[in-house]
């Protein structure tokens, strides 16, 4: 079949797609190459940034395909049949992932989101296989256009549209309820409510839902009719779509950078309250750790190690619970081992009787930060406690008691976490006590 050529070269349409493609690809590459300034926030920040970057690259490549087809004088409406709805689903999936990551959604929501990929992947494979098997000519845009007009291709396309629309409803509800849960969880914690503003998160969720709704309406209209919007309307849509995505993506990435550290801390607290040890009682582990801290008894260490090995062999699923119980018990030791200056992962793991790789992985998964950031978080809580309960202590003394090299290092870490200096925190606490 001869490829269908447009009567004239659409310069405005070509320019709009080139601008859009360039903006999306530049945004994607920029976000991919961006590095987080604070190492302790890397785990929290990486996922939303990567989601927005990959979404931008996928859209940019599709827009470049459109521009290439226009430049060659080929009717690019054939892409509306299957490629555009599929790209819309990819955007929807990645944007939902970024929102759920920012709010540290529970595993059930993440599993539901991931399960929605299966019907889309299945339909895509069926569509491609059927095209390869039933093409009448060689691989080109003309043979693909012939294929899109066949009854099986249309049936698969409509099934895809129904599947994507259903998934969109699920994702929208998921985002809505997750944002509400996040807001309610923060408001219940007085300390976190002072540091985390939930209004930006709610606005982002609303913007995302509105954005994908408008985009979905246009894409579904084009897929059903098999044609793009009129030339001028299509140009406006492409440019507006680009501007909205770039701004919305930037807001999501910026918000995740600001708030993800605290939301990880919130989730860790929530999980710690809900999880109960089944393999080993918490009280037994506390007693063993207390004995180990008191006399460095190697036998105690061996008992803890044997308990960990036994738990790992008998029930792999209980291992995280056993590790969490050990970590929580270690955190509650009267000696406050995390306040020891120069504490390393290897030393803490040895004291707990846990392999250091398991401990590091547990901290990354539970608290969304690395070991050093986690230790600093515990130390900052101790700093706040000392300021509140022992106002006579100087900042120099508090720094020495909490494992910091000096008061300057303590102030730097404290300000990152609380957005104010220890001195300001101390003054505010004094004012509250006077009232």
Mean pLDDT for the chain?
A: 75
In this prediction, residue 294 has a pLDDT band, given cuts at 50, 70 and 90, of low
For the segment 176-187, the average pLDDT, to the nearest whole number, is: 78
Which helix (DSSP H) or strand (DSSP E) does residue 29 occupy? helix 11-33
pLDDT at 24 over 70: yes
| pLDDT greater than 80 at residue 106 | no
pLDDT value for 38? 43
The residue behind tokens 């398991």 is 358
Task: Quote the DSSP letter at residue 389.
Answer: H
Report pLDDT digits (tens) over 50-104.
Answer: 778 888 888 888 888 888 888 877 777 778 888 889 888 988 888 888 778 777 6
Question: Is residue 4 predicted with pLDDT exceeding 80?
Answer: no
Phi/psi of residue 74, nearest 5 degrees = -100, 145
How far apart are the C-alpha atoms of 228 and 218, rounded to whole Å?
A: 9
The model's pTM: 0.55
Backbone φ, ψ for residue 305 (5° rounding): -60, -40
CA dihedral 146, 150, 155, 160 (to 10 degrees): -10
CA 349 to centroid of chain Cα atoms: 28
Which whole-number Å values give the CA distances from 323 to 140, 162, 330, 352, 381, in the listed order?
57, 45, 11, 9, 22
* Tens-digit pLDDT profile for residues 326-341: 888 888 877 788 888 8
Predicted pLDDT at 342: 81
Q: Are 84 and 223 in contact (CB under 8 A)?
A: yes
Residue 334 CB: number of other CB atoms within 10 A? 7
Supply the pLDDT for residue 433.
Answer: 74
| Lowest-confidence region among 22-31, 165-174, 192-201 | 192-201
Q: Mean pLDDT lowest for which of 7-16, 95-104, 119-128, 350-359?
A: 7-16
**What are the chain's domains?**
11-259 (1.20.1070), 275-368 (no CATH), 380-435 (1.10.10)
């Amino acid at each position: 079949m001869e490829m269908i050529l447009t009567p004239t070269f659409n310069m405005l349409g070509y320019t709009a797609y080139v601008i859009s493609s360039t903006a999306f690809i530049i945004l994607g590459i920029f976000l991919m190459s961006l590095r987080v300034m604070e190492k302790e926030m890397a785990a929290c920040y990486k996922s939303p940034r990567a989601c927005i970057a990959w979404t931008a690259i996928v859209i940019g490549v599709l827009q470049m395909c459109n521009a290439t087809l226009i430049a060659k004088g080929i009717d690019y409406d054939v892409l509306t049949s299957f490629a555009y709805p599929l790209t819309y689903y990819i955007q929807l999936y990645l944007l939902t992932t970024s929102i759920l990551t920012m709010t540290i959604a529970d595993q059930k929501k993440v599993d539901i989101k991931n399960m929605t990929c299966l019907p889309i992947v299945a339909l895509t494979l069926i569509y491609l296989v059927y095209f390869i098997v039933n093409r009448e000519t060689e691989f080109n845009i003309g043979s693909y256009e012939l294929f899109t007009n066949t009854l099986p291709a249309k049936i698969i396309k409509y099934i895809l549209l129904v599947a994507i629309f259903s998934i969109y409803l699920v994702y929208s509800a998921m985002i809505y309820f997750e944002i509400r849960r996040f807001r309610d969880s923060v408001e219940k914690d007085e300390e976190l409510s002072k540091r985390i503003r939930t209004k930006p998160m709610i606005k982002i969720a609303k913007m995302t839902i509105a954005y994908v709704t408008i985009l979905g309406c246009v894409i579904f209209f084009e897929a059903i009719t098999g044609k793009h919007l009129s030339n001028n309307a299509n140009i406006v849509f492409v440019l507006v779509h680009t501007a909205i995505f770039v701004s919305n993506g930037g807001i999501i990435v910026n918000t995740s950078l600001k708030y993800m550290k605290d939301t990880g801390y919130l989730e860790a607290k929530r999980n710690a309250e809900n999880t109960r040890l089944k393999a080993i009682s918490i009280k037994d582990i506390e007693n063993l750790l207390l004995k180990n801290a008191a006399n460095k008894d190697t036998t105690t260490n061996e008992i803890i190690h044997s308990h960990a090995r036994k738990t790992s062999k008998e029930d792999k699923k209980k291992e995280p619970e056993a590790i969490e119980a050990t970590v929580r018990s270690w955190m509650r030791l009267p000696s406050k081992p995390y306040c020891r200056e120069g504490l390393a992962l290897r030393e803490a793991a040895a004291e707990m009787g846990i392999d250091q790789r398991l401990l590091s992985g547990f901290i990354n998964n539970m608290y969304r930060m690395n070991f050093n950031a986690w230790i600093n978080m515990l130390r900052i809580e101790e700093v706040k406690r000392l300021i509140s309960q022992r106002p006579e202590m100087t900042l120099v003394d508090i720094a020495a008691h909490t494992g910091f090299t000096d008061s300057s290092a303590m102030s730097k870490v404290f300000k990152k976490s609380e957005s104010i200096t220890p001195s300001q925190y101390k003054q505010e606490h004094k004012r509250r006590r006077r009232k």
